[in-house]
C-alpha cells in the first residue's frame, strides 16, 4: 500500500456518490464532494481522477449497485477495489452513520490495510451467477406457493395421507377436491396456476444451468466436484459461480471462513469460548454445502448415480472422494452418538466437507 499516495473512499448509493480523498498520511481529507451516478457523474469523476498527482487507490463497499463503478474506473485505468461490507471493522461505540463518515472511514481503512477486498467476477461469471440465483429465488417462491395451497386445503379439512406430496397421485387427489364456497374454489384455482407457472420457471432455469454445467468452461470443475457425495451439477455450479477459482483460497480454513462455517469465538485471559458458526460470507454456498452434508448421515456403498459421476475421473480426485465418504460419515455418527442434535452435526460435517471441496478445487483446474 505504501506505493500509493492518494486514498479515495466512495460511499456508493443509487442516488449519489459521496467521495472522500486523503493524500498521503494526512489526518483530514483533502477533498469531500458528491456526485450523481450516471454518465455525467462518471465523466466528472474520471476527469477529476486524471487530474490527481500521484498514484491512487479507490474503494467502495459491495452493495445493490453491483460492480459497474469498479468496472468503469478499472477500464479507465484506475485502481478500484470493492470491500466486503460484513467484514469492515466497526467500533462498538460508534453509533453515528452518515455517507460522509462512511466514505472517510473507507479511505482511511484502505490506507491502513484493514479492509477485506473481494474478488470481482467477470461480466460472464456474474451473468451465470444471476441465473443460478434466479433459480434459487424461483424455487423459494415455488415452495411458498405450495405451502399456501396445502394450508388452504388443510383449513377445509383436506390432507393428503397416501404418500409423498406434489407427485402425480397427489395432483390427481387435488383435482378431485371441490370446495363448497365459490371464492374458496377461485383461490384454490389461482394457487394451482401459480404453482404450475413456478414449476415451469424452475425447470427452465434448471435446463439452462444444466446445459452450462455440461457444455461450458465450467464443465471440468463441475465434473471434479461431483465426485463428492451430495454434490450434483447444480450444487457444483452454485459453488463455482459464487466463489470463482477455488485456488484463490490459500488454505481450507480460508474457504471455510469465506462461507461462514467456522465457529465464533470469545476468548479472554485463560478462557476460550466458542459459539455457533459466524454465518459471515457467502450464504448461498453455505446453504448448499450444509444440504450436501446430510448425505453423509447414512453411509452406503456408492450407488449407480455416484458411480456414473465418478467414472473416468482422475485417481487423485477419487481418492479424495473416498476419504471424504469415510471421514464425514464417521464424524456424523460420532457427533450424533455424543448427543449432538442432527442439525448441529450436519453443520460440523459441512465445515469439513468444505475442506474436501477446497482440496478438489486445487487440482481441478
Instruction: Give start-end residues of each CATH 3.30.420.140 domain in the chain.
Output: 6-112
Around 27, how many Cα atoms within 13 Å sit in the side-chain half-sphere? 0
pTM beyond 0.75, yes or no: yes
361 contact partners, CB below 8 Å, separation of at least 6: 221, 224, 225, 245, 246, 247, 249, 255
Residue 218 and residue 361 in contact, taking contact as beta carbons nearer than 8 Å: no
Q: Given its phi and psi angles, is residue 284 left (phi above 0), alpha (psi -120 to 50 degrees) or beta?
A: alpha
Q: Are strands 80-83 and 56-61 parallel, antiparallel or unpaired?
A: parallel
CATH number for the domain whose boundaries are 6-112: 3.30.420.140
Neighbours of 196 (CB within 10 A): 13
Residue 145 and residue 202 in contact, taking contact as beta carbons nearer than 8 Å: no
Which set of grid coordinates corresponds to residue 137?
429465488
Residue 4 and residue 56 in contact, taking contact as beta carbons nearer than 8 Å: yes
**Interval 87-102: pLDDT, tens:** 888 888 888 889 999 9
Torsion angle defined by CA atoms of residues 346, 362, 263 and 88, in that order, rounded to the nearest 10 degrees: -130
Furthest-apart CA atoms within the chain: distance in Å: 78
Containing 265, the helix (H) or strand (E) segment is strand 263-268
Q: Name the 3-class secondary structure at 274.
A: strand
pLDDT values of the chain reduced to their tens digit, one per residue, 365 residues: 446 789 999 999 999 999 999 999 999 999 999 999 999 999 999 999 999 988 999 999 999 999 999 999 999 999 999 999 988 888 888 888 899 999 999 999 999 999 999 999 999 999 999 999 999 999 999 999 999 999 999 999 999 999 999 999 999 999 999 999 999 999 999 999 999 999 999 999 999 999 999 999 999 999 999 999 999 999 999 999 999 999 999 999 999 999 999 988 777 777 777 788 989 889 999 999 999 999 999 877 888 999 999 999 999 999 999 999 999 999 999 999 999 999 999 999 999 999 999 999 999 88
Measured CA distances, 151 to 112, 127, 154, 160 (Å): 55, 36, 5, 11
Continuous H helices in the chain: 39-51, 68-75, 99-112, 123-155, 168-175, 182-214, 219-225, 233-243, 252-258, 283-293, 304-310, 315-337, 342-363
SS (H, E, C) 332-351: HHHHHHCCCCHHHHHHHHHH
Which set of grid coordinates corresponds to residue 322?
473416498
Angle at 146 between CA 141 and CA 151, to 5 degrees: 130
Amino acid at each position: 500500500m505504501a506505493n500509493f499516495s492518494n486514498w479515495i473512499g466512495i460511499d456508493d448509493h443509487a442516488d449519489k456518490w459521496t467521495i472522500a480523498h486523503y493524500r498521503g498520511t494526512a489526518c483530514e481529507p483533502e477533498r469531500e464532494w458528491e456526485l450523481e451516478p450516471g454518465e455525467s457523474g462518471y465523466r466528472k469523476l474520471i476527469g477529476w481522477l486524471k487530474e490527481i498527482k500521484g498514484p491512487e487507490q479507490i474503494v467502495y463497499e459491495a452493495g445493490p449497485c453491483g460492480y459497474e463503478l469498479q468496472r468503469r474506473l478499472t477500464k479507465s485505468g484506475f485502481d478500484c477495489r470493492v470491500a466486503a461490507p460484513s467484514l469492515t471493522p466497526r467500533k462498538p461505540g460508534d453509533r453515528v452513520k452518515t455517507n460522509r463518515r462512511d466514505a472517510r472511514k473507507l479511505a482511511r481503512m484502505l490506507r491502513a490495510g484493514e479492509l477485506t477486498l473481494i474478488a470481482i467476477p467477470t461480466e460472464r461469471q456474474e451473468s451465470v451467477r444471476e441465473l443460478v440465483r434466479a433459480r434459487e429465488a424461483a424455487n423459494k417462491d415455488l415452495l411458498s406457493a405450495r405451502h399456501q395451497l396445502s394450508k388452504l386445503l388443510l383449513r377445509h379439512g383436506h390432507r393428503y395421507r397416501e404418500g409423498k406430496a406434489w407427485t402425480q397421485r397427489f395432483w390427481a387427489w387435488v383435482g378431485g377436491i371441490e370446495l363448497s364456497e365459490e371464492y374458496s374454489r377461485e383461490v384454490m384455482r389461482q394457487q394451482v396456476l401459480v404453482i404450475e407457472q413456478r414449476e415451469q420457471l424452475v425447470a427452465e432455469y434448471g435446463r439452462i444451468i444444466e446445459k452450462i454445467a455440461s457444455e461450458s468452461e465450467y464443465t471440468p470443475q463441475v465434473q471434479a466436484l461431483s465426485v463428492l457425495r451430495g454434490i450434483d451439477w447444480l450444487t457444483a455450479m452454485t459453488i463455482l459461480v459464487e466463489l470463482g477459482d477455488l485456488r484463490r483460497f490459500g488454505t481450507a480454513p480460508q474457504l471455510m471462513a469465506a462461507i461462514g462455517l467456522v465457529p465464533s469465538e470469545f476468548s479472554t485471559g485463560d478462557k476460550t469460548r466458542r459459539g455457533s458458526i459466524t454465518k459471515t460470507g457467502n450464504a448461498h454456498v453455505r446453504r448448499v454445502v450444509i444440504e450436501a452434508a446430510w448425505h453423509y448421515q447414512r453411509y452406503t456403498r456408492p450407488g449407480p448415480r455416484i458411480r456414473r459421476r465418478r467414472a473416468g475421473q482422475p485417481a487423485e480426485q477419487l481418492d479424495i472422494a473416498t476419504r471424504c465418504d469415510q471421514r464425514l460419515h464417521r464424524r456424523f455418527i460420532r457427533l450424533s452418538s455424543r448427543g449432538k442434535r442432527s442439525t448441529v452435526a450436519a453443520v460440523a460435517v459441512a465445515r469439513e466437507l468444505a475442506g474436501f471441496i477446497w482440496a478438489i478445487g486445487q487440482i481441478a483446474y
